[in-house]
Chains A and B, each alone.
Chain A
């Protein structure tokens, strides 16, 4: 069994108020390492066996059509065995 990971992030030029809120909360807890924070989404999709090229192509389509909104977001597809 393998897991296909889809990570979705807001495009760099799109304001991310949630990431900004996290960035401003960190120093209040004494964590001063963050120059900035961007928040995104991660989907873990289980498939039987090693994913085929056809499956990965379908996941790309799903990422484009449903999992992300291409107007404001980008996505990356990875495989985790």
Chain B
């Protein structure tokens, strides 16, 4: 199962995402922002970091990278895409996901282990979790506050498209405690917390994040 990870100028967590895919049992494939070649991968991860230095707006310039043109076309046909942190920001800038991510309410860059609940287990990236399962994975961002219009929020809630919600406390002023969402079709998922940083107890707060990567492999086998 070939899963791609895109490296943009300023990506930080691309190697961690590649490693998470390998530990989950997949075949990780490096993809490069300046090429439109998806190298026959069956799903793709947009990793965290500060692509293009977060200039203009987080994700705003990456959205126009050649690889994104290919990903946007593929995603419209059901290709699974996971955006983590900066990857989530790129997905909202690409309009593959609704809403936007703005500066954290208290202006702090927040780096901590965060409890979240999994609220949608129907996506190819979350099918291995239990509905309502509480997991602990790190957040590390300065612009993680999810904002959307009242209509969009209602649509997300009514259609069960909230994938992750902050538990215990809301770290950044995100509307409805949203930490992750999916598109109407369910193939594109964006999350602010970093599942690729919680894949083994030696280096992370838990192994809870690994299920994102075993889920996608499971869903690809089932196709």
Contact = CB atoms under 8 A, between A and B. Distances in A.
Contacts, number: 36
B100 A17 contact: no
Nearest to B105: A17
A14 B143 CA distance: 14
Given A66-B60, A71-B92, A15 B107 contact: no
B56 A71 contact: no
A10 to B, nearest CB: 8
A21 interface: yes
Interface in B144-182: 145, 147-149, 173
Contacts of B93: 69
Interface residues of A, number: 11
Interface residues of B, number: 20
A15 B146 CA distance: 11
Contact of B107 (A17, A67, A72): A17
B190 to A, nearest CB: 14
By secondary structure, the B interface counts as: loop
Interface centre among A10, A14, A15, A69 (most CB of B within 10 A): A69
A10 B56 CA distance: 13
SS of A interface (majority): mixed
Interface in A66-81: 66-67, 69, 71-72
Interface string A37-81: 000000000000000000000000000001101011000000000
B148 A17 contact: no
Contacts of A66: 56, 60, 64
B57 interface: yes
B103 interface: yes
Interface string A1-44: 00000000010001101100100000000000000000000000
24 contacts: A14-B147, A15-B102, A15-B105, A15-B145, A15-B147, A15-B173, A17-B104, A17-B105, A17-B107, A17-B173, A18-B103, A18-B107, A66-B56, A66-B60, A66-B64, A69-B57, A69-B60, A69-B93, A71-B92, A71-B99, A71-B100, A71-B147, A71-B149, A72-B102
